[in-house]
Amino acid sequence: MNLSSKAEGDALVVSVHESRIDASVAIQFKDRMREETDTADGRVVLNLSEVDFIDSSGLGAIVAAMKQLGGKNPLELAGLNENVDKVFRLTRMDTVFRIHNSLDDAFVV
Amino acid sequence: MLGTHPRLIKPKADIHIELKGTPTEVRNALETLRHKLTAQEFAACNAGVLEIVLAEVLNNVVEHALAGRSDGQIVIACNYADQCWFVEVRDNGAEMPDSQLPDGTMPDLDRDLLDMPEGGFGWGLVRSLAQDIGYQRHSTGHNELSFRVPD
């Protein structure tokens, strides 16, 4: 599970360099998120622009990552493609996460 | 193999995929599906919705019907007609509880952020996106799920 992170402005941006977040990698995703965000101090923006597909297990892993960050470091999402966005909308998880159209949009004041 | 029952999925289905019941095989099957869906004859089809539905159906088979089994086998057939995908999925796993399909109620999100559900969305997604969902348990010990996904 290839993730990278870098501090940008007021946020830590975590980018997922994988085409899928699904049941076969959900646990690794959660573990890698914990490693990449253990020094987070403020909001974390998860950049999903390279992700083509997510299933409900992948969605659950993102929810778990949000919960392990706790209330102090909100997890926001950016760069959802049409199918990924559909999964968030149908499950109404789009009402739980702040979702930015693009990574750039996450930094528009 | 799954293959001796008279109701066996037609081998001449537009898309026919066989897999073992593991998460990695599910991923590979969905990648194969996507590859086939981008082939010329289906290039105009909406592959995304079909992929979401099949992912949830297959994950459920692997996590529930085939839980704890190492001999799980799944067969998928998809036929395209009238702007619609007609899909059948067979597996050799355990019967659905009470022979009933899950009702697919989405988990309640009206709760604290740190209590948000991490699962339970699969059948809600299937019921949101697929139509005419049918389930049969066969005396051969197979489950057969059928549904339609409008293109």
Name the residue in chain A with its Cα closest to that of B127.
A90
Token code pair at residue B22: 């593991």
Give alpha helix (H) positions in A13-81: 26-37, 56-69
Name the residue in chain B with its Cα closest to that of A30.
B118
Spatial CB neighbours of B12, under 8 Å, sequence gap ≥ 6: none
Residues of chain B with pLDDT under 70: 1-11, 40
Contact between residue A69 and residue A61 where contact means Cβ atoms under 8 Å apart: no
State the Cα–Cα distance between residues B125 and B60, nearest whole angstrom: 12
Give alpha helix (H) positions in B1-151: 23-37, 47-60, 122-129
Nearest-CA distance A109 → chain B (Å): 24
Kindly list the residues from chain A whose CB atom is less than 8 angstroms away from the CB atom of residue B125: 56, 87, 90-91
pLDDT tens-place string over residues A60-77: 999 999 999 998 999 999
Kindly list the residues from chain B whose CB atom is less than 8 angstroms away from the CB atom of residue A87: 52, 125
pLDDT, averaged across chain A: 96
Q: Where are the domains of chain B?
A: 15-150
pLDDT tens-place string over residues B111-140: 999 999 999 999 999 999 999 999 999 999
3-state helix, strand, coil in chain A (%, to 5): 40, 25, 35
Q: How many percent of chain A have pLDDT more than 90?
A: 95
Q: How many percent of chain A have pLDDT more than 70?
A: 100
The string of DSSP codes covering A36-49 is HHTT--S-EEEE-T
CA distances from B60 to A58, A60, B26, B94, B115 (A): 14, 14, 11, 11, 23
Q: How is domain A3-107 classified at the CATH fold level? A: Transcription Regulator spoIIAA (3.30.750)
CB–CB contact A90 B109 (8 Å): no
Q: Where are the domains of chain A?
A: 3-107
User: Can you give the C-alpha Rg of chain B in angstroms?
Assistant: 16
Domain spanning B15-150, CATH class = alpha beta
In degrees rounded to 5, what are phi and psi of residue B85? -95, 125
For chain A, say whether B66 makes contact (Cβ under 8 Å).
no
Residue of A1, A20, A24 to mutate, testing the B interface (most B Cβ within 10 Å of its Cβ): A24
B90 secondary structure, DSSP code: E
Nearest-CA distance A21 → chain B (Å): 10
Token code pair at residue B38: 């981008």
Name the residue in chain A with its Cα closest to that of B124.
A91
Query: Which residue type, as a one-letter code, is found at position B42?
Result: F
